[in-house]
Amino acid sequence: MFRFAEPKYFYLLLVIPLMVGIYLYSIHRQKKQIAIFGRTDTVMGLLPNLSFTRAWVKFIILLVACVFVVLSLARPQVGSKLTEVKRKGIEIIIALDVSNSMLAEDIQPNRLERAKQSIAQLVDKLTNDRIGLIVFSGDAYVQLPVTSDFASAKMFLSSISPEMVSKQGTAIGRAIDLASNSFTPQGNTSKALIIISDGENHEDDPVESAKLAAEKGIVIYTIGIGSPSGAPIPIGANQNYLKDENGNIVVSRLDEETLSKIAIEGNGKYIRASNSQFGLLPLFENLSKMSKTEIKEKIYSEYSEQFQYFLAFALALLLIDSLILERKNPKLSRFKLVDTKNGGRQ
């Protein structure tokens, strides 16, 4: 397994575009200053040792060296020893609605972003449990299999958007069926499914799916996000709203009845989200009361540092950069490496 122990240093890469901008500006100014003295090709002929190509090569080498320095600071590591660990916890799968209706802004900043923020806060509270992510709209897909790698869970969570599922709609039943088959097959492990949706199901029978999941010992909690009065669905960046075939603005409303029925059939609880309290953190108390079972898992307990290879490569590049002169070497000009008769320049 490969990982970076200090990924925070990747923020230093934001300096790279700034360096490129400053360098391009300096080249632009240098060329303008040359143009003051006459035509650029004529002036360049009077400066046979000047080479913009060499300057570009040196700058690119410097940029690559900087990237590898940052990579070394992030401490790349390779897992070197697998160890089986035993933990007592439960398995949790979160099924998140990513249909276009989740872009409605009756929950700020919008339904989907608020849900992602709350899920991230829940992940921070987990310790010995395992978590998985499912996204659904007109169809359902596993975004992250059940794992105890909470850092990966937050990384996958940040990339979730409505574009992930091309088929629009709200197929809650398919999400429940997929979740039922995504838990580990250990029969004694406590399993909880949390569904976050506005509840506007148009594709299947989620209540029946919840009943079948409950027969497998899966407890289903539902969180309704949105308002019963509803809100329009923004599209694009020009504050336009989704319209039906008659040109009327589509209003997405929270369907609490469906979500409540799913929770009842799943032996769980329905919670309505609001701007002040989303509902996942209070739900954590219910999850904490579920019986903990022993979960065996193999993890990497030891890692070998690999930063020295990245640092060595960066130092080698800096050495090469120092050996390349910005001006042409007069001692090499007699070898005619480039055909100057045809306008070539060394």
**Domain 91-291, CATH number (from 3.40.50.1980, 3.40.720.10, 3.40.50.410, 3.40.50.300):** 3.40.50.410
Q: How far apart are CA 300 and CA 222, in angstroms?
A: 35
Cβ atoms of 90 and 284 closer than 8 Å: no
Report how far Cα 137 is from the mean position of its chain's Cα atoms: 19
| pTM for this prediction | 0.66
What is the reported pLDDT for 223?
A: 96
Q: Where are the domains of the chain?
A: 2-78+305-342, 91-291
Cβ atoms of 251 and 241 closer than 8 Å: no
Q: What are phi and psi of 96, to 5 degrees?
A: -110, 125
Q: Write out the DSSP string of 1-22.
A: -EEES-GGGGGGGGHHHHHHHH
What is the reported pLDDT for 70?
A: 95
Tokens (6 digits) for 28? 């632009």
Tens of pLDDT, residue by residue, the chain (346 residues): 788 889 899 999 999 999 999 999 988 887 777 677 666 666 555 555 566 677 888 999 999 999 999 999 999 988 666 666 677 889 999 999 999 999 999 999 999 999 999 999 999 998 889 999 999 998 999 999 998 889 889 989 999 999 888 888 889 999 999 999 999 886 678 999 999 999 877 678 999 999 999 999 999 999 999 999 999 999 876 678 988 888 899 999 999 999 999 999 999 999 999 888 898 888 888 898 888 877 666 665 577 889 999 999 999 999 998 888 766 555 545 544 444 444 444 4
What is the reported pLDDT for 346?
A: 44
CA dist 66 to 20, 37, 128, 147, 239, Å?
12, 36, 39, 35, 41
CA dist 215 to 39, 211, 222, Å?
84, 7, 17
Tokens (6 digits) for 31? 């060329």
